[in-house]
Amino acid sequence: MNGEREFLSSAFNAADAEGALIAALDSQSGMLDLLNKLPVMSRVVAADGRVLWQSRSLETLLQPRSERGCCESLGLRHSDAECPSVQAIRTGRRQKRQRWLGRYYVSMENFPLAGLFGEDVVSMEVFHDVTTEKKLEAALARQQSLLETINRAMIKINHNLESAQRELEEKNWSLEQANRQLRSLDQMKDEFISIVSHELKAPLTSIKGSVELIRTCEHDKLSTTGHDLLSVCQRNINRLHRLVQDLLDIARIESGRLSLEFSTFNASDVVEECLQSERALADKKEVFLENAIPENLEITADRERFIQVIVNLVNNAVKFTDHGAVTVEAFGEPGSVTVHVRDTGIGIGAEEQTRIFDKFAQVGCDLNRNSGGTGLGLSIVRGIIREHGGEIHVASEPGHGSCFTLTLPQPPGRLRDGEAGPLD
């Protein structure tokens, strides 16, 4: 009786087990008929391994019942001692195993039962289709294997990243060291330029004054050759004087020591003064200089530095223009003044525009060198404009001239770390 209860509890759910047991135990035929009606795959095996009966649902897995032994019908080759059905009968205990049967993976349980088919004890085998569960287990195992592979790869990648991080930190440290050395060298260079410029300024001023004195006082005593030599000397002294002055201005701008004295002046009058200083060079190159600034426009700025900016921009425009025109325009807006210096010269390429305001940068190097350029002028111009709190930029295209546009706030202010504000 206990074997029957254990088997039926496995074959039915808990709610139906008691009623099924009462109905099944009335007779052997009633039990087998009930099992045939249920979707439970089962069979009865004798102590010698013969299959005495199997349910119709089991035939989806196995061939119709034959005289072959229970293990052989499953494709197994066991001795009697190893056969689970025989072991269940001999020991009186349930046996359990799993196996692939064709397209299905089944879990097989063996229950010892007494009094069926005229046998003292038989084994009732119940088959459960666990193919889906087994496939899920296999899929989970594959996923687990894949995750382990990914985890190993991630560990390796992490190790490589850590190595790369260490290498990057070492390189960053080396770069920081190199940057510190470069900053130190740059500071030494600036100090050297400042010192040399100051040391050169005094003797140059003395030499320049002496040459002018000789040309003035000894004019009648000099031969034509002497006059020519003094003219050459004076031109080169003026060139050196401008270079020294440019170096001093750069040093003042970079150290924040550029002093500004603000005043309000007529923009048209000051620009006309600037154009007159460049008139000789413009006439020589057949370049027309035009002052297109409204006569009533006034600007508040450092007058001398504003003249330096305009003269520099006009001089550059004339140097790179042949048989054309240079025009200076300006207009006022609430809170600012905008000035344009346009030319019809050779223009500036896009790549050169990105570095045109850098120190010692030169556009059309060969032409600029021949024209006596130092590559400091535009850098000084930008520094002066920024000291006023303004900004400057260029728009140009090779062969179509250039336009330098500077904007000055009114009242002026100084630009510090990208911020501008009015000066008190």
- Is 140 found in the same domain as 103? no
* DSSP states along 60-79: GTSPSP-SSBHHHHTT----
Domain end (from 250, 281, 316): 250
Residue 232: is its pLDDT beyond 90? no
Residue range 395-406: mean pLDDT, rounded: 94
Strand partners, 128: 107
- Is 160 found in the same domain as 123? no
Cis peptide before 411 (omega within 30 of 0): yes
Q: What pLDDT score was predicted for residue 417?
A: 42
- Is 139 found in the same domain as 125? no
Q: What is the pLDDT of residues 22-75, one digit of tens each?
A: 444 456 666 677 777 777 788 888 888 788 888 887 776 665 555 556 776 666
Residue 244: is its pLDDT beyond 50? yes
- CA trace torsion 179, 185, 190, 193 (10° rounding): -150
- Is 154 found in the same domain as 187? yes
Q: How far is CA 343 from the centre of its chain?
A: 40
Residue range 10-20: mean pLDDT, rounded: 46
- Say which CATH number the domain at 379 has: 3.30.565.10
Handedness of CA 312, 313, 314, 316 (dihedral sign): positive
- Is 173 found in the same domain as 90? no
Identify the domain containing residue 314 by its residue range. 261-364+374-409
Q: How far is CA 234 from the centre of its chain?
A: 56
Q: To which residue do tokens 């504003």 refer?
A: 306
Q: What pLDDT score was predicted for residue 419?
A: 42
Q: What pLDDT score was predicted for residue 420?
A: 39
Of the candidates 318, 310, 312, which has an alpha carbon nearest to the alpha carbon of residue 289? 318
Residue 327: is its pLDDT beyond 90? yes
* DSSP states along 399-412: TS-EEEEEEEESS-
- Is 106 found in the same domain as 58? yes
Query: What average pLDDT is seen over the chain?
Result: 80
**Range scoring the smallest mean pLDDT among 64-73, 214-223, 334-343:** 64-73
Residue range 108-113: mean pLDDT, rounded: 82
Rounded Cα distance, 224 and 237, in Å? 20
- Is 272 found in the same domain as 232? no
Residue 295: is its pLDDT beyond 80? yes
